Amino acid sequence: MPRKHEVAWRQWLRAHALLERKLDGDLRTEHGLNLLTYDALVQLSEAPERRLHMKDLAEALVYSTSGLTRIVDNLERSGFARREVDPNNRRATLVVLTDEGFATLEAAWRTHARGVRDHFTRHATVAQVTAIADVFRKVVNDLEPPRS
């Protein structure tokens, strides 16, 4: 019989996969966005001046810089973001959230928040949600490379 920690890990893996599938499906159906695009829009919206260097957006999404090119290409094609050369470092590229991208994010946020509430947080008390957030903050702090 697996120990409690192994059971918790397996339940988290399955719940994560199912929840990601559901949230992604809702965003695709209602807004034509996938969850990764939604997350990219969120990261850009929370950045100073709604702009991030490509490498910083890749870090925020836990994605390779080379893989991020495809995501940013799609954001540009959709009119949600644009690339700009960093005026302080001409070798660096900034990704800038457009007004259209921000409006799309605002509309999609309601769908995403509803999905998180209906399929995740409604199953937990406030104390449990706080504990879950605390545990995963510690996991992130332990695994995330230090920022330069």
CATH number reported for the structural domain that contains residue 107 in this entry: 1.10.10.10
Structure tokens at 67: 């893989």
Per-residue pLDDT of the chain (148 residues; tens, 9 = 90+): 569 989 999 999 999 999 999 999 999 999 999 999 999 999 999 999 999 999 999 999 998 888 899 999 999 999 999 999 999 898 999 999 999 999 999 999 999 999 999 999 999 999 999 999 999 999 999 998 776 5
Structure tokens at 82: 């644009």
**Does some domain include residue 148?**
no
Q: Which residues constitute the domain of residue 98?
A: 4-143
Total structural domains within the chain: 1
**Does some domain include residue 20?**
yes
> How far, in Å, CA of 53 to CA of 51, rounded?
7
**Does some domain include residue 139?**
yes
Cβ–Cβ under 8 Å, residues 24 and 35: yes
pTM > 0.75: yes or no: yes
pLDDT at residue 65, rounded to an integer: 80
> How far, in Å, CA of 70 to CA of 59, rounded?
15
- Please list, in sequence order, all residues whose beta carbon lies within 8 angstroms of the beta carbon of residue 132, skipping any fewer than 6 positions away: 124
DSSP 52: E
